[in-house]
Structure 1
Amino acid sequence: MRHHDIRIACGLAAAGALLAGAGQASASGFGVTEVSVEGLGRANSGEVADTGASALFWNPAAIARGPRGMSLGIHHRNDSTTFSDNATNIVYPGGASFGVGGISPVDEVSQDFTAPHFAAALPFGDRFAVGVSVHKPYRLRTDFGAGSWARYDTVRSKIEVLEIQGAAAIQATEWLDLGFGLTANKTDAYYDQAYPNLGAGMADGLSQLTADGWNYGWTAGAQAHFERMTLGVSYRSKVEHELEGGLVLSGLQAPLNGANFAAPADASFNTRATFTAGVRFDLTDATTLNGQVVYSDWSVNQTIDVTFAGMTVGIPQRFKDSASVAVGVDHDLSEMWTVRGGVQYDPTPTPDSLREPGVFDSDRWVFAVGASARLQPAVTLNGALAYSRFKDTHLVDIDTFYGGTPAQTTVLTNGRFEGDALAASVGLDWTF
């Protein structure tokens, strides 16, 4: 048996699995919606049309006529998930087929996380402003365990992106503001996957891949201000990710033991571009209605290119474009207190024919409430709660191990996912 060919097949499969996860982790279900605390309290409706530092992530034009100030926030999200096996099979060389076995159902796979948000704006003169924001736009972290039914897809995974945006904005006319920003994204990822040995009942091998890298993009936006209404639009470019890392495969037994190895592995892929449009309308002096649509262009992610052992292979992706819709309301109870709420529908771009346990996603509804207390004229305390309900969905995937060799083994994943999440946030806005 040619162990060199098996190593190449293993390396490409593992690197492809990690980067497929990176692409899908950017999908609706795993984009981090916890940005500003005020925005979360109205389910991120109308953020692209809001003004001030807290809205900078959504629209660089937001700071053009906002005050000098900063926005601080901390978000904690608890994910409750259940993954159930539905007759997942493994097919060995020669065609013998068995159930994979393992723990089912597996609960609390998606780990809780805490994420900060920071933004600041500094006006120059009467028409110009610059600003900076720090946010985690994408985050996925799972731990199924080495004994779960889903181990041949994922044992554990992590994909986390930290974004730093620098922006400048101008009041182009009495009613029109324009803004532009540059973004730097730091991506950190790891992916562990069980590898079957050639025999039912044998202990599994383990593939461990780590990768990281810096990548860059840009944003542009505009706001139109009228007497009782503000309209906003923004565009966030796709990001071309270039990650470098290493791959270790261990625990393979005879006749595969010669394929155990450690080597570098690089990969490149694109994450979505987004176009956002929104409105804030002052229904009365105390009540503001909000609406927002986010269109995600996933057509930029056609392949994942993996370089390993001196060769590059393109791994096809089948993402579809998606659009989320949110509506919300803010109401001033008094000069001190404001309450708000909102609802968002966020469909998944992942196709029904390919949805993996390790990068699970489905259509979801988000229901949010929040409140603000003006402690001083320049200091406002914000709080928010948001509940997300994921649509119960099937998990379907085909994993091929040692492909193109006499040891080729196939796992036909068939499962079910259900889950929800609760996010709690608190923050402070300070103008000076």
Structure 2
Amino acid sequence: MNNKKQQVQAVLGLAILGGLMIAAPVYAGGFATPTYGAQGWGRAFGGGSLFKDDPSAAYNNPAAMAFIDHTVVEQTVDYARVKIKYKGDAYDYKGDPTSSSVIDPNTGIPTSTPRTGNGGQAGFTAWLPTGFAVIPLNERFVLGLSAVVPQGMKSTWDPEWKGRDFAVDTKIETVGVTGSLSFKVNDEFSIGGGAIVQHSSGFVSQNVDLLAAAALSPGLGGAAFPSGVGHALMRVKVDNTSVGWFAGVVWKPTLKDTVGLNYHAKIKNKMDGKYNIYADEGSRSLMTDINPIFGKTLVAQAYPGLNLYPDGANASTQLDIPANAAIDWVHVFDDRLTLGASAMWTQWSSFKDLTLKSDGSTIVSIPYKYRNVWMLSLGGDYKLTNDWTVRAGVANDQTPTRNSTRDPRIPDGDRWFASLGLSYAVRAVPGLTLDGAYSRQFVQEVKLKTQNVDRLGGARLDGKVDSKGEVVSLSASYAF
């Protein structure tokens, strides 16, 4: 290939990917997100990136790029709509229904009002751009570039809902830029690998019932403080840039079959930032005023070695990105029909807890104890004409969450994906293909029977969460 032409194509690929660094999450199990164009969404990810000329191989399995003999650049925009609804009850640490304090204007005395809200539709809508570029360098080496969002999750509950001591806002997002290289050993076998530089960010807000937490602390010997008095909303925002690697192999045992293996390594990810607390006057005084009995603030007495500062302080947490591995298979039946199947394993057991620290002191540690899971997919393409292709697929995605530790931050359940897709090769612009897909997520209704940690007030939820989601994916790809 002409060197000047290669340079132009590489610059074009980078220019397209460069505009993709602002994204929002489209979620699968846990807080993972699929990394495909509209073609992959239309097949429900069956066959991975092994279908002919699929540029998403640049990230999903770089070895598959070796069998793409021309430059392909693709840009995708996904629109996601997710709805999450809670039905059930909430109780404070004493077993009474959760309440919020209201100041009586006549007496100035706080009185309790039951919280009755179920949180509304605690979901989100989001736009997710993704991009891939595959650029052959010669007959054996192929370069890949991509901008992906491999992790992301968002849930937003009403600020005054009955479970606000568990969650109000949660957002987890990872945006990555990757470079990869494949080597074609022969006409049947290839290998590939790559690296990802990613920026992870997290945002969490929830109410902290300071008096209830103090009542449960050993530092105060089980004092009978009331719950639901005052309002202290903690907001935490952290981020980090980290580096990881991925690799794959592809084997073509027959002229009609392709098998691929890929592995994305675990990425250590320590996130740093700040926390702030927005509190009413009474809750603020618990964190700032010296109690004459203890000679320190009530919060400092309740948690020796820790003091919460309402005006904010440093915050950090370890949120590692789990490893995953997949095996994909694609079979070409004839010139019209191609089917693919995939099995992907994710090592979610590495996510044991979410621990928030400030200058070396633990503010709170929330157990999750995720388990390893599988996602199984089946999908395919049917070529109607030289210009039109239809596709469909189904997938089953296990949740890594457990009944004992599932909470409203990520109220995840097992899900089915059902997808349809369509491609059109634009005759007026040779090399240009437009793809669209619609994917519906049917999420299992799950129980939310969990108790908060003592440091957040020990409240308890007893109910169920019903979730559902849909994704519309649109891609434009151009083959040079």
Q: TM-score, normalised by structure 2?
A: 0.79
**How big is the shift at 1:352?**
1.4
Specify the alignment match of 1:47 in structure 2. 48
Query: How far has the Cα of 1:99 moved from its partner?
Result: 3.2
Structure 1 residue 397 and structure 2 residue 450: aligned?
yes
> Are the equivalent residues in 2 in contact too, given 1:383–1:426 (CA < 8 A)?
yes
Residue 424 of structure 1 corresponds to which residue in structure 2?
A: 472
SS in 1 for 2:92: strand
Instruction: Tell me which residue corresponds to 1:415.
Output: 463
1:334 aligns with 2:394: no
Work out the CA distance in 2 between the residues paired with 1:363 and 1:112: 21
The question of 1:73 aligning with 2:76 is answered yes
3-state DSSP of counterpart to 1:369: strand
In the alignment, is the contact (CA less than 8 A) between 1:41 and 1:384 conserved in 2? yes
Matched, 1:99 2:126: no
1:275 to 325, 346, 362: 325
Residue 208, structure 1, aligned to residue 235, structure 2: yes
CA deviation vs aligned residue, 1:144-165 (integer Å, no higher than 9, x gap): 1211112101111211110111
The equivalent of 1:220 in structure 2 is 247
Q: Work out whether residues 80 and 126 of structure 2, in 8 Å CA contact, stay in contact via their aligned partners in 1.
A: yes
Correspondence for 2:371 among 308, 311, 320? 320
Q: How many residues get paired?
A: 399
Bigger shift: residues 29-38 or 372-381 = 29-38
Aligned-residue offset at 1:180: 0.2
Q: Which amino acid aligns with 1:295?
A: W
- 1:17 equivalent in structure 2: none
Bigger Cα displacement from structure 2, 163-172 vs 297-306? 297-306
Query: Paired residue for 1:383, among 422, 431, 436?
Result: 436
Q: Deviations over 1:251-296 (max 9, x none)?
A: 1626624254321011223221111101110112210011000011
Q: Which stretch shifts more, 128-137 or 307-316? A: 307-316
Query: Which residue does 2:347 correspond to in 1?
Result: 297
- Which structure features the higher share of strand residues? 1
Matching residue's letter, 1:325:
L
Q: 1:286-337 deviations in whole A, cap 9, x for unaligned?
A: 1001100001112333455544233469765411110010101210001111
CA distance in 2 between counterparts of 1:201 and 1:81 reads 25
RMSD of aligned Cα (Å): 2.1
Q: Is the 8 A contact 2:318 2:354 kept in 1?
A: yes
Q: Which residue in the other structure is 2:59 paired with?
A: 57
Counterparts of 1:298 and 1:147, CA distance in 2: 32
Q: Match of 2:75, SS?
A: strand
Distance in 2, matches of 1:148 and 1:219, equals 42
Q: Which residue of 1 aligns with 2:394?
A: 343
Any idea what SS the aligned residue of 2:319 has? strand
Change over 3 Å in CA distance of 1:60–1:96 after alignment to 2: closer
Higher Cα radius of gyration: 2
Instruction: Give TM-score scaled by structure 1 length.
Output: 0.87
Selected match of 1:187 from 194, 200, 225: 200
Contact 2:326 2:345 in 1 (8 A): yes
Q: Does 1:363 align with 2:414?
A: yes
Is the contact between residue 379 and residue 431 of structure 1 (CA under 8 Å) also seen in structure 2? yes
Letter paired with 2:412: D
Q: Residues 210-241 of structure 1: CA distance to partner in whole angstroms, max 9, x if unpaired?
A: 10111121110011123011111100011111
- Residue identity matched to 1:68: T
Deviation at 1:410, TM superposition (A): 1.5
Q: Give how far 1:104 is off.
A: 3.1
**Offset of 1:81 from its aligned partner?**
2.2
1:99-248 alignment runs, 5 A limit: 99-100=98-99, 101-198=114-211, 199-200=226-227, 202-225=229-252, 226-248=254-276
